[in-house]
Structure 1
Amino acid sequence: MRWDGDRQSDNVEDRRGDGGGGGGGFGIGGGTLGIGSVAIALLGSWFFGVSPGTILNLLSGGGGTQQVQQAPSHPPATDRETQFVRTVLGYTEDTWTQIFKSNGATYSPPRLVLFSRRTQTACGTGQSATGPFYCPADRKVYIDLSFFQLMQQRFKVGGEFTQAYVIAHEVGHHVQNLLGISGKVDSARRNLSETQANAMSVRLELQADCFAGVWAYHTNQAKQIIEQGDIQSALAAASAIGDDALQRQSQGEVVPDSFTHGTSEQRVRWFTRGIQTGSVEQCNTFEARQL
C-alpha cells in the first residue's frame, strides 16, 4: 500500500503508557469474557462494531451512556506504525468529507484512540482482547496496535492495506452513527428476539464492510494507494473473520442464528460491492433481499 508522504490526521489520542492495567474481562453470568475463557470472543473481535460494554448493555435492555473520566492524552508517537494509522485516518477524513459535501452535508470526523491493554471509554472499559472498536457514545475509534500482530499470527492475514481496511470499517460505524443508522438499529433491537436482533447486527456490520470498500475506492481514485495483492489480502481477511469461519474454528460447528457479523462470503461480497462501485447507495444492506 502506498501512503508515505501523505497528510496525517491530528484527530488522534495516544494513551499508550498510561498504565491502563490488565487482567479481568467482561462479566457474563458470573464468568468473564476474555482471551483465556471464550475463544470465540477473541476470534470474533476483529471488526467488532462497538465495544462489548455497549452490546451487553443493549442486550440487557439498557442504553444509557456511562460517565468516563478522560484519560490523559499524549502527542502521537512518530514511529512508522503510528504514522500509518494517522495517514489512514486522514484518508478517511478526506474521503467522507467529500462524500458528505457532495450530498449537502458536513462530515464530523471521529477521534482515534491508541491504547495498550485497556482504556476507559464512554461505552465501558475497552480491552485489547476486544480488537478495534467504535464507541458511538463518545464518537471515538479505539485500537491497540498489537492486535494487528495477533491477526497475522492467528489468521495469517496482514499487510498495511488489510490494517487500513480494519480502520475504515470502524470509521464506517462512525458514518452510520452520523447518519442515524446505528441509533435506529439499537432502538429496533430492543423490541426483537435475540435471533432477530442478531440479524439486524449482521446487516449493520455488512454495511460497515461496504462503507470500508467505498472508502478504498475513493481514496485510491485520489491517491493511488492500492498496490498489487492489496485487495486480495483484504478479501482474505474478510473471509477469515466471517461468523461461520470463526465458529467452525472455535467450536467445530456453525450456528447461523447466533451470527452478528455475517458469513465469510457475505463480508467479502459487501466489501467488494463498496470497492467496485464507490457508491454509498449500493451499501443499503437493510433493504437487500439477499445478503
Structure 2
Amino acid sequence: MQWRGRRESSNVEDRRRMGGGGAARVGGIGGAGAVIVVILALFLGVDPSQLLGPDGGGMTQTSGAPVELTAEDEAEGKFVSVVLADTEEIWTRVFRDQLGQPYRPATLVLFKEATRSACGGASEATGPFYCPADRKVYLDTAFFTTLHKRLGAGGDFAAAYVVAHEIGHHVQNELGILGQANQVRQQVSQAESNAISVRIELQADCLSGIWAREAAQTLGVVERGDLEEAVNAARQIGDDTLQRNAGKRPMPHTFTHGTSAQRSRWFMIGLQSGMLADCDTFRTDDL
C-alpha cells in the first residue's frame, strides 16, 4: 500500500506517550490470557467490557509515566493516520453520492497497553474496537504484530483492513444500524444475540470491501498483492478458524463474527460492488 508521505488525518488522538494510558492492570488478563482473549474475541467491534468487564479486565488508575515513542511507533502512527484519512475521503464521497448526506468522521485513539473509553476499559487484550458512545476507534498498534505473527495475516494492507473494519462500525453507527441492532441484541437470547453480532461484523467486512475498492480505483494507492492480504486477514479471523487455532472445536452457536468463508465473502461483495445497498447482511438468509 502506498502510504508514506501522504496526507494524514487530523482526527487522531495519540495517547501513547501516556504509557499505560493512566491505567494499569491488576489481577486482570495478561500474557497468554490476553492472547486467548484476542484470538477468541477478535474484532469485538463495540464494547470490550462484554469480555473483560467494565474495568477493562482489572485495570486501576495509576500515574502513567510518560514514555518515548520509538521510530517504529512513529511510523505505525503515521500509517494509521494515513489510512484513517483515506477512509474519511472515501466515506465522504460514498455518503454524498449514494445517500445524499454528509459523513461525520470518527476519531481514532492510539494507545499503549491500556486506556479508558466511554464503553469501558481498553487494553491490548481487547483488540481494536469501536465505541459508539464516544464515536471513537481504539487501537494499540501492537495488535498488528499479533495479526502478523500469531494469526498469520501479515502485510500493511491487512493492517489497513483492521482500521477500515472498525471504521465500518462507525459507518453503521452513522446510519443508525449499529444502535438498532445492539438494542435488539439486549432483548433476545444469547444465541440470537450472537447471530445478530455476526451480521453486524459481516456488514463491517463488506463496508471495508467498499473502502478497498475505492482505495484502489479512486485513490490509486493499492499495490500488487494488497487485496490478497486483506482477504487473507478476513479468512484468518473467522470464528471457526480462531476456535480451531485455540485448540477448540468450532461451535457455531457461539460465533459472533462469522466463519472464515463468510468474512472473506462479504469483504469481496463490498470490493466487487462498491454499493452500500449490497452490504445489507440483515435482510438475507445467505450469509
Q: TM class by shorter-chain length?
A: 0.7 to 0.9
CA distance in 1, matches of 2:112, 2:160: 19
Q: Which moved more, 1:213-222 or 1:253-262?
A: 213-222
The structure-2 alpha-carbon separation of the partners of 1:101 and 1:55, relative to structure 1 and needing over 3 Å to count, comes to farther
CA distance in 2, matches of 1:242, 1:290: 17
- CA deviation string 1:40-69 (max 9, x = no partner): 4221343221231257889xxxxxxxxxxx
Q: CA RMSD in A?
A: 2.5
CA distance in 1, matches of 2:219, 2:267: 19
- Asked if the contact 2:12/2:81 (under 8 Å) is kept, the reply is yes
- Asked if the contact 1:202/1:261 (under 8 Å) is kept, the reply is yes
Specify every segment of 5 or more residues in structure 2 that has no aligned partner in the other structure, as ranges: 55-63
- Asked if the contact 1:116/1:144 (under 8 Å) is kept, the reply is yes
- Asked if the contact 1:45/1:132 (under 8 Å) is kept, the reply is no
CA distance in 2, matches of 1:101, 1:224: 20
Partner of 2:86: 91
After TM superposition, the score normalised by the length of structure 1 is 0.87
DSSP-derived class of the 2:17 partner: coil
Would you say 1:179 and 2:175 are equivalent positions? yes
- CA deviation string 1:3-39 (max 9, x = no partner): 23321101001101213243347xxxxxx55553376
The structure-2 alpha-carbon separation of the partners of 1:44 and 1:225, relative to structure 1 and needing over 3 Å to count, comes to farther
Partner of 1:12: 12
Partner of 2:166: 170
Aligned to 1:263, which of 255, 259, 265?
A: 259
Paired AA for residue 142 in structure 1: Y
- Asked if the contact 1:14/1:77 (under 8 Å) is kept, the reply is no
- Asked if the contact 1:243/1:262 (under 8 Å) is kept, the reply is yes
- Asked if the contact 2:8/2:81 (under 8 Å) is kept, the reply is yes
Paired AA for residue 15 in structure 1: R
CA distance in 1, matches of 2:174, 2:224: 33
User: Taking every aligned residue pair, what percent have the same amino acid on both sides?
Assistant: 48
Would you say 1:205 and 2:204 are equivalent positions? no
- Asked if the contact 2:12/2:107 (under 8 Å) is kept, the reply is yes
Specify every segment of 5 or more residues in structure 1 that has no aligned partner in the other structure, as ranges: 26-31, 59-70
Paired residues in the alignment total 272
DSSP-derived class of the 1:22 partner: strand
Q: Which moved more, 1:93-102 or 1:205-214?
A: 93-102
- Asked if the contact 2:212/2:227 (under 8 Å) is kept, the reply is no
Aligned to 2:24, which of 10, 22, 25?
A: 22
- Asked if the contact 2:195/2:256 (under 8 Å) is kept, the reply is yes
- Asked if the contact 1:118/1:128 (under 8 Å) is kept, the reply is yes
**Shift of residue 244 of structure 1?**
0.4
CA distance in 2, matches of 1:223, 1:148: 24
Aligned to 1:139, which of 135, 142, 163?
A: 135
